[in-house]
């Protein structure tokens, strides 16, 4: 399975699902980026032989508490256990964007969430995500 880019644009989020009415994450809101139970069904992800979850997020508001976390589940999504938490600052030091690639090959189910900080996103919440099945190794960035 080749990597598939999953662009998520603010305008694609139904307003009914956006608590603040503009499609942007609000204060302390948790946004699910990817959930394998929702996508493939419970315990079905291993059939797709996925190795990496890759994401890049450019929020418009750099609030304390902005982070990305990853969780795994062995019971089809009833219990989730955290195994990944993003660094608070990007390697390039701008402290506003989040980019990483996370190995998920050993898990039955995973979900990734963006934990919005204390301030609502003001103008944009730009997300790019990919699932990678071809490469066992890191991309070597």
Enumerate residues 110-129 that contact other proteins by CB under 8 A.
124, 126, 128
Query: Which position among 90, 103, 108, 115 is part of the footprint of other proteins (CB under 8 A)?
Result: 90
Query: Which position among 38, 49, 81, 139 is part of the footprint of other proteins (CB under 8 A)?
Result: 139
| Shortest distance, position 8 Cβ to other proteins, whole Å | 11
Site for other proteins contains 67 (CB under 8 A): no
Cα–Cα distances in angstroms (integers) from residue 24 to residues 37, 101, 127, 137, in the given order: 24, 24, 12, 34
Strand ranges of the sheet holding 125-132, from the earlier edge strand across to the other edge: 4-8, 125-132, 52-59, 98-103
Site for other proteins contains 43 (CB under 8 A): no
Q: Hey, what are 50's tokens?
A: 């996925």
Query: Which position among 13, 54, 63, 102 is part of the footprint of other proteins (CB under 8 A)?
Result: 54
Q: Hey, what are 120's tokens?
A: 């609502």
Residues 6+ positions from 21 with CB-CB distance below 8 Å: 15
Q: Closest by alpha carbon to 59, among 15, 135, 21, 116?
A: 116
Q: Which residues bind other proteins (CB under 8 A)?
A: 2-5, 9, 54, 56, 58, 90-94, 96-97, 99, 101, 124, 126, 128, 130, 132, 134-135, 139-141
């Amino acid at each position: 399975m080749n990597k598939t880019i999953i662009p998520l644009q603010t305008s694609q989020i139904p307003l009914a699902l956006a608590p603040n009415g503009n499609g942007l994450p609000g204060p302390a809101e948790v946004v699910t980026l990817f959930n394998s139970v929702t996508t493939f069904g419970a315990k079905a992800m291993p059939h797709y032989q996925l190795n990496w979850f890759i994401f890049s997020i450019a929020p418009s508001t750099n609030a304390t508490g902005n982070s990305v976390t990853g969780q795994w589940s062995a019971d089809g999504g009833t219990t989730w256990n955290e195994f990944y938490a993003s660094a608070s600052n990007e390697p390039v030091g701008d402290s506003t964007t989040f980019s990483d690639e996370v190995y998920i090959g050993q898990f039955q189910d995973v979900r990734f969430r963006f934990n919005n900080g204390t301030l609502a996103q003001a103008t944009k919440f730009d997300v790019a995500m990919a699932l990678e099945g071809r490469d066992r190794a890191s991309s070597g960035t």
